[in-house]
């Protein structure tokens, strides 16, 4: 019975872990960004592209804040969201580089794009790399500030 219980616990842990992975291992970020830009063109909606990895606790914290935290309403109302998996800094690095996102400063990293694919904001100094320490409120305050500035530019 203990073996069965242990197996069930392992299965549960693996299942929960799979659900909590915010970055798709198989997505094509170039295609997703193109699709978001096409949709954004009709509504003039900016796009937030988040670069991160499923192993990254700060990336998971940011994702949680953007999905269910105080930032969720702020972002869902005025932005389209695309998540780009950088793996262990071995995937999609060219996508980050094409927007001037310095991943060596830490992840998660963010670029805000206009509907015309113009860069409105980039995290250049690892501003979100301590998302766990920032917490939901700190992330909200940061995103509120940078998204307001980006919306003013669009």
CATH at residue 55: 3.40.30.10
Question: What residue has token string 């940061």?
Answer: 142
Phi, psi of 118 (to 5 degrees): -95, 140
Q: What is the pLDDT of residue 3?
A: 52
Rounded to two decimals, the pTM is 0.86
Separation between Cα atoms, residue 33 and residue 58, nearest integer Å: 23
Separation between Cα atoms, residue 135 and residue 154, nearest integer Å: 28
User: How many domains does the chain divide into?
Assistant: 1
Q: What is the pLDDT of residue 23?
A: 96
In a domain, 7, yes or no: no
In a domain, 44, yes or no: yes
Separation between Cα atoms, residue 38 and residue 127, nearest integer Å: 29
Phi, psi of 47 (to 5 degrees): -120, 135
For the record, the structure tokens of 139 come out as: 């992330």
Question: What residue has token string 């970020």?
Answer: 29
In a domain, 5, yes or no: no
Separation between Cα atoms, residue 78 and residue 147, nearest integer Å: 9
Range of the domain at 51: 22-153
Look at residue 2 and tell me whether its pLDDT is greater than 60: no
Lowest-confidence pick of 29-33, 43-47, 99-103: 43-47
In a domain, 118, yes or no: yes
For the record, the structure tokens of 71 come out as: 């930032």
pLDDT tens across 88-129, in order? Answer: 999 999 999 999 999 999 999 999 999 999 999 999 999 999
In a domain, 123, yes or no: yes
pLDDT tens across 56-98, in order? Answer: 999 999 999 999 988 999 898 889 999 999 999 999 999 999 9
In a domain, 13, yes or no: no
Look at residue 10 and tell me whether its pLDDT is greater than 50: no
In a domain, 2, yes or no: no
In a domain, 17, yes or no: no
CB atoms within 10 A of CB 120: 19
């Amino acid at each position: 019975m203990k073996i069965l219980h242990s197996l069930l616990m392992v299965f549960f842990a693996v299942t929960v872990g799979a659900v909590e992975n915010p970055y798709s291992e198989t997505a094509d970020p170039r295609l997703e960004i193109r699709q978001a830009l096409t949709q954004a063109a009709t509504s003039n909606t900016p796009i937030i592209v988040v670069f991160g990895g499923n192993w990254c606790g700060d990336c998971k914290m940011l994702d949680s804040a953007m999905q269910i935290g105080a930032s969720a309403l702020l972002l869902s109302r005025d932005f389209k969201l695309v998540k780009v998996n950088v793996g262990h800094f071995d995937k999609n690095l060219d996508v980050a580089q094409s927007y001037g996102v310095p991943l060596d400063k830490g992840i998660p990293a963010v670029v805000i794009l206009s509907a015309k694919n113009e860069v409105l904001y980039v995290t250049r100094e690892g501003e979100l790399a301590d998302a766990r320490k920032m917490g939901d409120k700190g992330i909200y305050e940061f995103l509120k500030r940078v998204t307001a500035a980006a919306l003013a530019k669009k």
